Each structure stands twice: as structure tokens, then as C-alpha cells.
Amino acid sequence: MIAPAAARARPLVAVVGETADANVPAKARLLASARTLGADVVFHGSDLRGPAGARPIEAADVVLVRGGSQLPAATLDGIRNLQRAGMPVVNEPDSVAAAANKLRTAVLLEQAGVAHPRTIPLAGPEDVAAAVDALGTPLVLKVPQGSQGKGITIHHSQRAAQEHADTVFGIYDRLAARNALPHVDDLDPRMLAQEFLAEAGASDLRALVVREPSGSPRLVAAMQRTAADGSMRSNLHSGGSARPAVLSDAQRGQALAATDALGLDVAGVDLIRSHQSPTGMMVVEVNSSPGGAIQQVTGAPVSDRIMETVLARARSRS
């Protein structure tokens, strides 16, 4: 039997990501925060294995799931098995899977009454005309899973949207013919159409939310991201810039409600300007594994707040 955290001198945190490589600034900050709080950390890859000689993930007191949309379904299944055996998990696998899927995110936000852009699933290229009728042009087309602004395009005419959809679905068909498609839920569409909000411009707000040990979500930091000239993507990975931001009470409420809607403990909530929303903003995406740039930009103790929640979850096991 694994000794609970209270029985050890120092609790052990297993951080699961795409790889076990610890030489990443965000991971270094998590490690530093854990050590300051009196805990040890082992980084595990998507195979749930750590570096050579590291203690196995079953020996941990708590698991922190990072990696978001980059984690395969098998990894999330493995973490579910750990949960069933009594392992506390921060960012539960079902919530991570929901945040990685843009359609599921839209459905959960709709059910929770959180304002978000209208989104229509496309079962095939033949659905583009109906999407244009409903949403107009310009039209945003997205793949259901992706991060860092990848897989998102804007089309200023039905013809352009149709040509893009024909190309993407054609690629899917060729991959399927070779049995080379990645596994996805059969009920999930291959593409989404979303309304274009011209007022959003080339910037958005990223709100970093962490669920406190008490169980309530808390806004830890916020920044405004602006796309590089000529780009539609404000993500810093795509060359955008960022500065600290202050959210209104209503916008803060949107970020907290979005976090609750997806059941996340750690979330990066992206908001864009919208004339249709009473707060002036809509939630466009929720990320279960937000990057560490917001800590650098704002100076907020993001990694400390995350690790405090992680260690509180470990103590709750005892």
C-alpha cells in the first residue's frame, strides 16, 4: 500500500505531461514552488513513466495533469485507473478531455449559461452552406482539437470556406482509407464552424484560474494578448505580445464560471470582445494546461497557487 502524504516527511507530486523532460521553464517554476512548500516532484511522460531511476507514478501522493490536448486517450485512461485506486488528481481526466475538444467545451459553456461564440459541428463538407446561412461570413473554421491557435482559419466567402472544408475532409478520408486516423470519439465532428466577431480584433484576454483548497475557483492572473501584425492568432507561441490586464468583476465571473463548467482545477480561460455579451466579452476557449508565460508577464505567483492546491489535494487523501 502507498503511504499517504501525511505519513511521509515530504509529499511526492507526479506531474504528467507530454514528455518527462523537466528542462522547461514552466516545469522549473512548478518544481521550485513544490520545493518551497516542502514537496518533491517527478515529471512523467504520456506513457506515465518518469526518468530512469525515478519512483513510479503509483508511489506519488497526488497527480497533476498537464499537457491538455497533447495527451493521448490512453494516458487519460491510465490516470483514471489511478483515480479508481484512490489517487488524488488535479485536473481530472474527463475535464481535461472536455477542454481539449472545442465542441464539448462549447456545449458545456452553453449549458452553464456562459456567453461564447455560436458554434456548429460539420459532419462533412456538405454542411458548409448551412453553416454560412446560420453564421454568415466571415466564417471561422476549426478542428475540434488543437492548441496554440493551430487549426483555426477565417474565410471571407462561402466559396473559400467550402474549398477549405473540401481539402480538410479529403485529408481525413485519405487517412481513414489507410487506417491512419488518430482515435477520436465517433460522435465528434471533424470540423467546427464558428461565428466571426469582428469587434474582437487581434487581441484577447487570458485569465488564469486555480481552484483553491476550499474548492472555490480563484482568478490568479490575467493578461491581454495581441497578435503579431498580419496574424489572427494572439497566442504567444504564434509571435503575439502580452501585457498584464485587470478584469472587471463581470469578466472575472465569466472566467470562474467557465472553469466550473468544465470542472477544472487549473484553467486558462480566453475571452474576446463581443457586442452581443452584457459583459462585452465572450469565452472562446478553455485550456486545461495553460502555459507559463502569464507568470512571466504578470509576476503573479501562478506556480505557487497551483502547487498549494495540489498539495492540499494530497493531504485530503490521508
Q: What digits encode the pLDDT tens for the residues 135-150?
A: 999 999 998 886 667 7
Q: Which of residues 143, 166, 195 is at a domain's end?
A: 195
Backbone angles phi, psi at 61, to 5 degrees: -95, -20
Domain that holds residue 73: 5-92+308-315
pLDDT tier at 82 (50, 70, 90 boundaries)?
Answer: very high
Q: Mean pLDDT over residues 6-14, rounded?
A: 80
pLDDT score for 4: 52
**Closest by CA position to 61, among listed 27, 45, 38:** 38
102 and 251 in a single domain? The answer is yes
230: left (phi over 0), alpha (psi -120 to 50) or beta: left
The DSSP H or E segment spanning 186 is none
Based on the domain organization, do 58 and 203 belong to the same domain?
Answer: no
pTM here is 0.90
In this prediction, residue 1 carries a pLDDT of: 40
Backbone conformation region of residue 58, classed left if phi is above 0, alpha if psi is from -120 to 50, else beta: alpha
Confidence check: pLDDT of 253 > 70: yes
Model confidence at 234: pLDDT above 80: no
The CATH number of the domain holding residue 37 is: 3.40.50.20
pLDDT in tens, 33-76: 999 999 999 999 999 999 888 899 999 999 999 988 889 999 99
- Taking residues 1-17, what's their average pLDDT? 73
The domain boundary, picked from 173, 195, 217, lies at 195
118: which 3 cell numbers?
A: 455560436
The predicted pLDDT at position 219 comes to 98
φ, ψ for residue 140 (rounded to 5)? -95, 130
In terms of domains, do 180 and 254 share one? Answer: no
**pLDDT given at position 186:** 46
Mean predicted confidence (pLDDT) in 253-261: 98
- Which domain CATH number covers 173? 3.30.1490.20
Question: What is the reported pLDDT for 296?
Answer: 94
Confidence label for 291 from pLDDT (cuts 50, 70 and 90): confident
> Once rounded to an integer, what is the mean pLDDT over residues 158-179?
88
Q: Are residues 236 and 274 in the same domain?
A: yes
pLDDT, greater one: 188 or 265:
265
Same domain, 278 and 143: no
CA distances (Å), origin 307, targets 12, 32, 61, 245, 267: 12, 10, 13, 23, 14
Q: pLDDT confidence of 276, banded at 50, 70, 90?
A: very high
DSSP 8-state code for residue 201 = T
pLDDT at 230: 53
Distance between CA 175 and CA 11 in Å, rounded? 45
Average pLDDT, integer, range 156-176:
90
pLDDT at 176 over 60: yes
104 plus 210 within the same structural domain: yes
Residue 205 is part of a domain; what is its CATH number?
A: 3.30.470.20
What per-residue confidence (pLDDT) applies to 70? 84
Gyration radius (Cα) of the chain, Å: 20
Confidence of residue 111 (pLDDT cuts 50, 70, 90): very high
Same domain, 240 and 110: yes
**Sequence-separated contacts (24+) of 156-162 with Cβ below 8 Å:** 158/128, 158/129, 158/132, 161/128, 161/131, 161/132, 161/137, 161/193, 162/125, 162/128, 162/129
Indicate whether 202 and 294 sit together in one domain: yes
**Residue 73: how many CB atoms within 10 A of its CB?**
14
Same-domain check for residues 218 and 272 = yes
Clarify whether residues 10 and 154 are in a common domain. Answer: no
Average pLDDT of the segment spanning 214-222:
96
* Number of separate helices (H) and strands (E) present in the chain: 9, 13
| More reliable by pLDDT, 240 or 315 | 315
What's the chain's average pLDDT?
A: 90
* Banded pLDDT at 236 (limits 50, 70, 90): low
Same domain, 262 and 189: no
34, 49: one domain: yes
Residue 87 has pLDDT above 50, yes or no: yes
- What is the average per-residue pLDDT within 182-206? 81
pLDDT for residue 187 = 46
Is the pLDDT reported for residue 182 higher than 60? Answer: no
Confirm if 74 and 23 have CB atoms less than 8 A apart. no
| Percent of the residues in the chain that have a pLDDT greater than 70, as a whole number | 89
Per-residue pLDDT at 235 = 55
Q: Of 169, 195, 221, at which residue does a domain stop?
A: 195
Q: Report how many domains make up the chain.
A: 3
The CA dihedral of 200, 108, 161, 241, to the nearest 10 degrees, is 40
